[in-house]
Amino acid sequence: MKAVLSAVTAYLPEKVLTNQEISTFLDTSDEWILTRTGIRERRIFDRLQTDLKSSDIAAEVALKLLRMQNLDPLKIDVIILGSMYPDFVFPSTACVVQGMIGAHNALAFDITAACGFIPLAIQQGDMMIRAGQAKNVLIIGAELSSRVVDWTDRNTCVLFGDGAGALLLTSVDDSDPRGVIASTLKSDGRFTSILQLKKDEVDQAHFLEMDGKSVFKIAVNEMADSVKETLNKAGLQEKDIDWLIPHQANIRILDATAKKLGLPAEKLIVNVDRYGNTSSASIPIALMEAVESGKIKQGDLIALVAVGGGMNWGCNLIRY
Ligand SMILES: CC(C)(COP(=O)(O)OP(=O)(O)OC[C@H]1O[C@@H](n2cnc3c(N)ncnc32)[C@H](O)[C@@H]1OP(=O)(O)O)[C@@H](O)C(=O)NCCC(=O)NCCS
Protein backbone atom coordinates (compact mmCIF):
# COMPACT_ATOMS: atom_id res chain seq x y z
CA MET A 1 0.00 0.00 0.00
CA LYS A 2 1.02 3.61 -0.41
CA ALA A 3 -0.35 7.09 0.35
CA VAL A 4 -1.98 9.42 -2.16
CA LEU A 5 -2.81 13.04 -1.59
CA SER A 6 -6.55 12.71 -2.10
CA ALA A 7 -7.89 16.10 -0.94
CA VAL A 8 -6.82 19.55 0.11
CA THR A 9 -8.73 22.55 1.40
CA ALA A 10 -8.35 25.73 3.42
CA TYR A 11 -10.25 28.02 5.74
CA LEU A 12 -9.29 31.70 5.74
CA PRO A 13 -10.62 34.69 7.63
CA GLU A 14 -12.37 37.32 5.52
CA LYS A 15 -10.62 40.31 7.05
CA VAL A 16 -7.74 41.53 4.87
CA LEU A 17 -4.98 43.51 6.59
CA THR A 18 -2.94 45.47 4.05
CA ASN A 19 0.60 46.78 4.44
CA GLN A 20 -0.93 50.24 4.18
CA GLU A 21 -3.12 49.60 7.24
CA ILE A 22 -0.16 48.28 9.24
CA SER A 23 1.81 51.41 8.42
CA THR A 24 -0.88 53.49 10.16
CA PHE A 25 0.13 52.07 13.57
CA LEU A 26 3.75 50.93 13.00
CA ASP A 27 6.91 52.58 11.68
CA THR A 28 6.92 50.71 8.35
CA SER A 29 5.69 51.15 4.79
CA ASP A 30 4.01 49.23 2.00
CA GLU A 31 7.16 49.78 -0.08
CA TRP A 32 9.50 48.26 2.58
CA ILE A 33 7.32 45.22 3.24
CA LEU A 34 6.64 44.54 -0.44
CA THR A 35 10.24 44.83 -1.63
CA ARG A 36 11.76 42.85 1.29
CA THR A 37 9.11 40.13 1.52
CA GLY A 38 6.74 40.17 -1.48
CA ILE A 39 3.80 40.49 0.93
CA ARG A 40 1.01 42.94 0.03
CA GLU A 41 -1.62 41.83 2.52
CA ARG A 42 -2.53 39.01 4.91
CA ARG A 43 -5.77 37.71 6.44
CA ILE A 44 -6.48 37.97 10.15
CA PHE A 45 -9.29 36.76 12.38
CA ASP A 46 -11.26 39.42 14.20
CA ARG A 47 -9.18 40.53 17.19
CA LEU A 48 -12.37 41.05 19.21
CA GLN A 49 -13.11 37.34 18.94
CA THR A 50 -10.88 36.72 21.95
CA ASP A 51 -12.19 33.23 22.67
CA LEU A 52 -11.24 31.87 19.22
CA LYS A 53 -8.77 28.99 19.54
CA SER A 54 -6.58 27.14 17.06
CA SER A 55 -8.79 24.08 17.54
CA ASP A 56 -11.84 26.09 16.33
CA ILE A 57 -10.28 26.93 12.96
CA ALA A 58 -8.73 23.45 12.72
CA ALA A 59 -12.14 21.81 13.25
CA GLU A 60 -13.67 24.19 10.71
CA VAL A 61 -11.20 23.23 7.98
CA ALA A 62 -11.36 19.53 8.88
CA LEU A 63 -15.17 19.47 8.60
CA LYS A 64 -14.94 21.32 5.27
CA LEU A 65 -12.62 18.62 3.94
CA LEU A 66 -14.82 15.79 5.25
CA ARG A 67 -17.90 17.35 3.59
CA MET A 68 -15.98 17.78 0.33
CA GLN A 69 -14.98 14.12 0.35
CA ASN A 70 -18.28 12.91 1.78
CA LEU A 71 -16.15 11.07 4.33
CA ASP A 72 -17.50 9.78 7.64
CA PRO A 73 -15.31 11.17 10.47
CA LEU A 74 -15.26 7.66 11.97
CA LYS A 75 -13.21 6.58 8.93
CA ILE A 76 -10.32 8.87 9.88
CA ASP A 77 -7.54 6.72 11.37
CA VAL A 78 -5.03 9.44 12.23
CA ILE A 79 -5.14 13.20 12.81
CA ILE A 80 -1.82 15.06 12.74
CA LEU A 81 -1.98 18.73 13.64
CA GLY A 82 0.48 21.61 13.55
CA SER A 83 0.05 25.05 15.13
CA MET A 84 2.33 27.76 16.47
CA TYR A 85 -0.37 28.45 19.05
CA PRO A 86 -1.80 25.15 20.36
CA ASP A 87 -4.79 25.44 22.68
CA PHE A 88 -2.80 23.86 25.53
CA VAL A 89 0.60 22.32 26.18
CA PHE A 90 -1.51 19.21 26.67
CA PRO A 91 -3.92 17.79 25.64
CA SER A 92 -2.78 18.05 22.06
CA THR A 93 -4.88 20.29 19.83
CA ALA A 94 -5.25 17.24 17.55
CA CYS A 95 -7.10 15.46 20.41
CA VAL A 96 -9.32 18.50 20.97
CA VAL A 97 -10.18 18.55 17.26
CA GLN A 98 -10.77 14.78 17.20
CA GLY A 99 -13.47 15.29 19.85
CA MET A 100 -14.96 18.31 18.07
CA ILE A 101 -15.36 16.57 14.69
CA GLY A 102 -16.39 13.17 16.04
CA ALA A 103 -13.41 11.27 14.61
CA HIS A 104 -13.52 8.88 17.55
CA ASN A 105 -11.55 6.08 15.87
CA ALA A 106 -8.56 8.27 15.13
CA LEU A 107 -5.19 8.40 16.79
CA ALA A 108 -4.53 12.13 17.25
CA PHE A 109 -1.28 13.96 17.92
CA ASP A 110 0.47 17.29 17.35
CA ILE A 111 3.84 17.90 15.76
CA THR A 112 5.76 20.95 16.98
CA ALA A 113 7.70 22.18 13.98
CA ALA A 114 6.08 25.59 13.30
CA CYS A 115 6.45 26.40 9.58
CA GLY A 116 8.30 23.08 8.97
CA PHE A 117 5.18 21.05 9.84
CA ILE A 118 3.87 19.81 6.48
CA PRO A 119 6.82 17.68 5.24
CA LEU A 120 7.04 16.03 8.68
CA ALA A 121 3.31 15.32 8.86
CA ILE A 122 3.16 13.93 5.32
CA GLN A 123 6.13 11.67 5.95
CA GLN A 124 4.55 10.38 9.22
CA GLY A 125 1.21 9.77 7.50
CA ASP A 126 2.89 8.09 4.54
CA MET A 127 4.82 5.74 6.84
CA MET A 128 1.69 4.79 8.78
CA ILE A 129 -0.19 4.05 5.57
CA ARG A 130 2.71 2.02 4.11
CA ALA A 131 2.90 0.05 7.37
CA GLY A 132 -0.80 -0.83 7.05
CA GLN A 133 -1.65 1.08 10.25
CA ALA A 134 -3.93 3.65 8.62
CA LYS A 135 -6.16 4.17 5.59
CA ASN A 136 -7.11 7.83 6.03
CA VAL A 137 -4.73 10.36 7.57
CA LEU A 138 -6.00 13.89 8.14
CA ILE A 139 -3.29 16.55 8.33
CA ILE A 140 -4.24 19.99 9.65
CA GLY A 141 -2.23 23.21 9.92
CA ALA A 142 -4.07 25.85 11.97
CA GLU A 143 -2.61 29.26 12.65
CA LEU A 144 -3.77 32.24 14.68
CA SER A 145 -0.48 34.03 14.02
CA SER A 146 -2.07 37.40 14.73
CA ARG A 147 -2.50 36.29 18.37
CA VAL A 148 1.20 35.52 18.87
CA VAL A 149 3.08 38.18 16.96
CA ASP A 150 4.13 41.32 18.78
CA TRP A 151 2.26 44.08 16.95
CA THR A 152 4.88 46.59 18.08
CA ASP A 153 7.77 44.61 16.51
CA ARG A 154 8.05 45.57 12.84
CA ASN A 155 10.71 42.89 12.28
CA THR A 156 8.18 40.10 12.73
CA CYS A 157 4.51 41.13 12.77
CA VAL A 158 4.42 42.26 9.12
CA LEU A 159 5.40 38.76 7.94
CA PHE A 160 2.62 36.58 9.32
CA GLY A 161 -1.03 35.89 8.56
CA ASP A 162 -3.87 33.71 9.91
CA GLY A 163 -5.43 30.68 8.23
CA ALA A 164 -5.94 26.94 8.33
CA GLY A 165 -5.35 24.21 5.77
CA ALA A 166 -6.07 20.49 5.64
CA LEU A 167 -4.80 17.58 3.55
CA LEU A 168 -6.05 14.03 3.33
CA LEU A 169 -3.70 11.11 2.69
CA THR A 170 -5.48 7.94 1.59
CA SER A 171 -4.18 4.41 1.23
CA VAL A 172 -4.16 2.99 -2.33
CA ASP A 173 -2.78 -0.07 -4.01
CA ASP A 174 0.88 0.05 -5.16
CA SER A 175 -0.25 -0.17 -8.80
CA ASP A 176 -1.76 3.36 -8.54
CA PRO A 177 0.48 5.80 -10.47
CA ARG A 178 -0.13 8.55 -7.88
CA GLY A 179 1.38 8.77 -4.43
CA VAL A 180 4.00 10.08 -2.04
CA ILE A 181 7.27 9.05 -3.69
CA ALA A 182 9.97 10.12 -1.22
CA SER A 183 10.57 12.47 1.70
CA THR A 184 13.60 14.00 3.41
CA LEU A 185 13.54 15.51 6.91
CA LYS A 186 16.20 17.21 8.98
CA SER A 187 16.44 19.01 12.34
CA ASP A 188 19.23 21.14 13.74
CA GLY A 189 18.95 22.04 17.43
CA ARG A 190 21.91 24.43 17.24
CA PHE A 191 19.44 26.95 15.84
CA THR A 192 16.69 26.80 18.48
CA SER A 193 17.21 30.46 19.46
CA ILE A 194 16.75 32.06 16.02
CA LEU A 195 12.98 31.47 15.82
CA GLN A 196 11.01 31.10 19.04
CA LEU A 197 7.61 31.59 20.57
CA LYS A 198 8.29 33.10 23.98
CA LYS A 199 6.19 34.11 26.97
CA ASP A 200 6.45 37.54 28.52
CA GLU A 201 7.59 37.12 32.13
CA VAL A 202 5.31 39.87 33.40
CA ASP A 203 1.98 39.44 31.61
CA GLN A 204 2.58 35.86 30.32
CA ALA A 205 1.53 36.92 26.81
CA HIS A 206 3.07 34.97 23.94
CA PHE A 207 5.26 36.70 21.39
CA LEU A 208 7.30 35.53 18.43
CA GLU A 209 10.99 36.38 18.34
CA MET A 210 13.16 35.89 15.27
CA ASP A 211 16.62 36.54 13.90
CA GLY A 212 15.35 37.16 10.37
CA LYS A 213 18.72 37.16 8.63
CA SER A 214 19.77 33.78 10.09
CA VAL A 215 16.41 32.21 9.28
CA PHE A 216 16.67 33.59 5.76
CA LYS A 217 20.10 32.00 5.16
CA ILE A 218 19.05 28.57 6.50
CA ALA A 219 15.83 28.64 4.47
CA VAL A 220 17.57 29.46 1.21
CA ASN A 221 20.32 26.86 1.64
CA GLU A 222 18.39 23.99 3.17
CA MET A 223 15.15 24.08 1.18
CA ALA A 224 16.96 23.68 -2.14
CA ASP A 225 19.27 20.97 -0.76
CA SER A 226 16.30 19.12 0.71
CA VAL A 227 14.56 19.00 -2.67
CA LYS A 228 17.78 17.80 -4.34
CA GLU A 229 18.27 15.04 -1.76
CA THR A 230 14.68 13.86 -2.16
CA LEU A 231 14.93 13.82 -5.96
CA ASN A 232 18.11 11.79 -5.60
CA LYS A 233 16.35 9.20 -3.41
CA ALA A 234 13.61 8.88 -6.02
CA GLY A 235 15.99 8.67 -8.99
CA LEU A 236 14.49 11.88 -10.41
CA GLN A 237 15.94 15.20 -11.50
CA GLU A 238 15.07 18.87 -11.08
CA LYS A 239 13.66 19.01 -14.61
CA ASP A 240 11.10 16.32 -13.66
CA ILE A 241 9.39 18.66 -11.17
CA ASP A 242 6.17 20.15 -12.53
CA TRP A 243 5.41 22.33 -9.49
CA LEU A 244 7.51 23.56 -6.61
CA ILE A 245 5.34 24.50 -3.61
CA PRO A 246 7.56 25.97 -0.91
CA HIS A 247 6.38 27.16 2.48
CA GLN A 248 5.32 30.74 1.75
CA ALA A 249 7.74 32.73 3.93
CA ASN A 250 9.18 35.46 1.73
CA ILE A 251 9.23 35.88 -2.06
CA ARG A 252 13.03 36.31 -1.96
CA ILE A 253 13.39 32.91 -0.25
CA LEU A 254 11.03 31.29 -2.77
CA ASP A 255 12.78 32.82 -5.78
CA ALA A 256 16.23 31.89 -4.48
CA THR A 257 15.12 28.29 -3.87
CA ALA A 258 13.69 27.94 -7.37
CA LYS A 259 16.85 29.49 -8.83
CA LYS A 260 19.12 27.11 -6.92
CA LEU A 261 17.12 24.23 -8.37
CA GLY A 262 17.29 25.70 -11.87
CA LEU A 263 13.48 25.86 -12.05
CA PRO A 264 11.74 28.56 -14.11
CA ALA A 265 9.46 31.00 -12.27
CA GLU A 266 6.40 29.42 -13.98
CA LYS A 267 6.90 26.23 -11.93
CA LEU A 268 6.89 28.06 -8.62
CA ILE A 269 3.58 28.36 -6.75
CA VAL A 270 3.39 31.71 -4.94
CA ASN A 271 0.63 33.28 -2.86
CA VAL A 272 2.68 34.93 -0.10
CA ASP A 273 1.64 38.30 -1.60
CA ARG A 274 -1.98 37.71 -0.47
CA TYR A 275 -1.65 35.71 2.75
CA GLY A 276 1.82 36.40 4.17
CA ASN A 277 3.40 33.54 6.11
CA THR A 278 0.63 31.31 7.47
CA SER A 279 3.16 28.85 8.93
CA SER A 280 1.84 25.25 9.02
CA ALA A 281 -1.15 26.23 6.85
CA SER A 282 0.82 27.84 4.02
CA ILE A 283 1.52 24.77 1.87
CA PRO A 284 -2.09 23.47 2.05
CA ILE A 285 -3.44 26.93 1.14
CA ALA A 286 -1.03 27.25 -1.82
CA LEU A 287 -1.74 23.68 -2.91
CA MET A 288 -5.50 24.20 -2.74
CA GLU A 289 -5.31 27.31 -4.90
CA ALA A 290 -3.06 25.59 -7.45
CA VAL A 291 -5.40 22.59 -7.66
CA GLU A 292 -8.59 24.69 -7.81
CA SER A 293 -7.18 26.98 -10.51
CA GLY A 294 -6.37 23.92 -12.63
CA LYS A 295 -2.61 24.52 -12.55
CA ILE A 296 -1.85 21.21 -10.87
CA LYS A 297 -3.23 18.28 -12.83
CA GLN A 298 -3.40 14.61 -12.09
CA GLY A 299 -0.05 12.95 -12.84
CA ASP A 300 2.02 16.08 -12.12
CA LEU A 301 5.13 15.75 -9.97
CA ILE A 302 4.98 18.21 -7.09
CA ALA A 303 7.70 19.05 -4.59
CA LEU A 304 6.58 20.42 -1.22
CA VAL A 305 9.36 21.98 0.84
CA ALA A 306 9.40 23.85 4.13
CA VAL A 307 11.59 25.17 6.90
CA GLY A 308 10.57 26.22 10.38
CA GLY A 309 11.32 26.69 14.06
CA GLY A 310 13.58 24.05 15.52
CA MET A 311 15.10 24.45 13.02
CA ASN A 312 13.35 21.74 11.02
CA TRP A 313 13.19 21.38 7.26
CA GLY A 314 12.11 18.82 4.73
CA CYS A 315 10.63 17.93 1.39
CA ASN A 316 8.01 15.53 0.00
CA LEU A 317 7.89 14.51 -3.63
CA ILE A 318 4.37 13.56 -4.64
CA ARG A 319 2.86 12.30 -7.88
CA TYR A 320 -0.52 14.04 -7.77
C1 LIG B 1 12.77 39.66 8.14
C2 LIG B 1 13.33 40.01 6.77
C3 LIG B 1 12.21 40.35 5.82
C4 LIG B 1 14.23 41.23 6.91
O5 LIG B 1 14.77 41.57 5.64
P6 LIG B 1 16.29 42.03 5.53
O7 LIG B 1 16.52 42.41 4.13
O8 LIG B 1 17.13 40.92 6.11
O9 LIG B 1 16.29 43.31 6.42
P10 LIG B 1 17.30 43.66 7.62
O11 LIG B 1 17.16 42.68 8.73
O12 LIG B 1 18.64 43.86 7.02
O13 LIG B 1 16.74 45.03 8.13
C14 LIG B 1 17.05 46.20 7.44
C15 LIG B 1 16.46 47.39 8.15
O16 LIG B 1 15.04 47.38 8.00
C17 LIG B 1 14.45 47.62 9.27
N18 LIG B 1 13.15 46.95 9.30
C19 LIG B 1 12.85 45.71 9.75
N20 LIG B 1 11.53 45.48 9.61
C21 LIG B 1 11.01 46.59 9.04
C22 LIG B 1 9.71 46.96 8.65
N23 LIG B 1 8.66 46.13 8.79
N24 LIG B 1 9.52 48.16 8.11
C25 LIG B 1 10.55 49.01 7.94
N26 LIG B 1 11.80 48.73 8.30
C27 LIG B 1 12.03 47.53 8.85
C28 LIG B 1 15.41 47.08 10.27
O29 LIG B 1 15.20 47.71 11.51
C30 LIG B 1 16.74 47.44 9.65
O31 LIG B 1 17.01 48.77 9.95
P32 LIG B 1 18.53 49.22 10.33
O33 LIG B 1 19.34 48.89 9.11
O34 LIG B 1 18.37 50.67 10.60
O35 LIG B 1 18.88 48.38 11.51
C36 LIG B 1 14.17 38.84 6.20
O37 LIG B 1 15.37 38.68 6.92
C38 LIG B 1 13.41 37.54 6.21
O39 LIG B 1 12.42 37.37 5.51
N40 LIG B 1 13.87 36.54 6.98
C41 LIG B 1 13.22 35.27 7.07
C42 LIG B 1 12.02 35.40 7.96
C43 LIG B 1 11.09 34.23 7.85
O44 LIG B 1 10.72 33.83 6.79
N45 LIG B 1 10.71 33.67 9.01
C46 LIG B 1 9.84 32.58 9.11
C47 LIG B 1 10.48 31.39 8.50
S48 LIG B 1 9.59 29.98 8.78
* Closest residue by CA, ligand 1 atom 12: 213
Residue 173, pLDDT score: 97
Residue 113, pLDDT score: 97
Residue 110, pLDDT score: 98
* Closest residue by CA, ligand 1 atom 15: 155
Residue 32 beta carbon below 6 angstroms from any ligand 1 atom? yes
- Catalytic annotation, pick one of 19, 95, 115, 250: 115
Residue 233, pLDDT score: 98
Residue 118 beta carbon below 6 angstroms from any ligand 1 atom? no
Q: What is the pTM of this model?
A: 0.97
Residue 93, pLDDT score: 98
Ligand 1 centre to CA of 68 (Å) is 40
Phi, psi of 82 (to 5 degrees): -125, 140
Q: Where does residue 78 rank: exposed (0-12), middle (13-18), buried (19+ CB within 10 A)? A: buried
Which ligand 1 atom sits nearest the alpha carbon of residue 219?
Answer: 47
Ligand 1 centre to CA of 212 (Å) is 6
Residue 191 beta carbon below 6 angstroms from any ligand 1 atom? no
> Own/partner pairs for 257-261, CB < 8 Å, 24+ apart?
257/219, 257/220, 257/223, 257/224, 257/227, 257/305, 260/220, 260/224, 261/224, 261/227, 261/228
- Catalytic annotation, pick one of 277, 312, 315, 316: 277
Task: Find, among 120, 128, 313, the residue nearest to 229 by Cα.
Answer: 313
> Is the dihedral angle over the CA atoms 229, 235, 237, 238 positive or is it negative?
negative
Question: Could you list the pLDDT tens digit for every one of the 320 residues in the chain?
Answer: 999 999 999 999 999 999 999 999 999 999 999 999 999 999 999 988 889 999 999 999 999 999 999 999 999 999 999 999 999 999 999 999 999 999 999 999 999 999 999 999 999 999 999 999 999 999 999 999 999 999 999 999 999 999 999 999 999 999 999 999 999 999 999 999 999 999 888 888 889 999 999 999 999 999 999 999 999 999 999 999 999 999 999 999 999 999 999 999 999 999 999 999 999 999 999 999 999 999 999 999 999 999 999 999 999 999 99
Ligand 1 centre to CA of 148 (Å) is 18
Residue 210 beta carbon below 6 angstroms from any ligand 1 atom? yes
Q: What residues pair up with 164 in beta bridges, in sequence order? A: 11, 142
Residue 158 beta carbon below 6 angstroms from any ligand 1 atom? yes
Residue 126, pLDDT score: 98
Phi, psi of 77 (to 5 degrees): -95, -30
Task: Find, among 76, 73, 136, the residue nearest to 106 by Cα.
Answer: 76
Residue 47, pLDDT score: 87
Q: What is the pLDDT of residues 69-121, one digit of tens each?
A: 999 999 999 999 999 999 999 999 999 999 999 999 999 999 999 999 999 99
Q: Judge whether 157 counts as a catalytic residue.
A: no
Ligand 1 centre to CA of 95 (Å) is 37
As a dihedral over the C-alpha atoms of residue 187, residue 4, residue 130, residue 237, rounded to 10 degrees, the angle is: -60
Q: Judge whether 247 counts as a catalytic residue.
A: yes
Residue 227 beta carbon below 6 angstroms from any ligand 1 atom? no
Ligand 1 centre to CA of 32 (Å) is 9
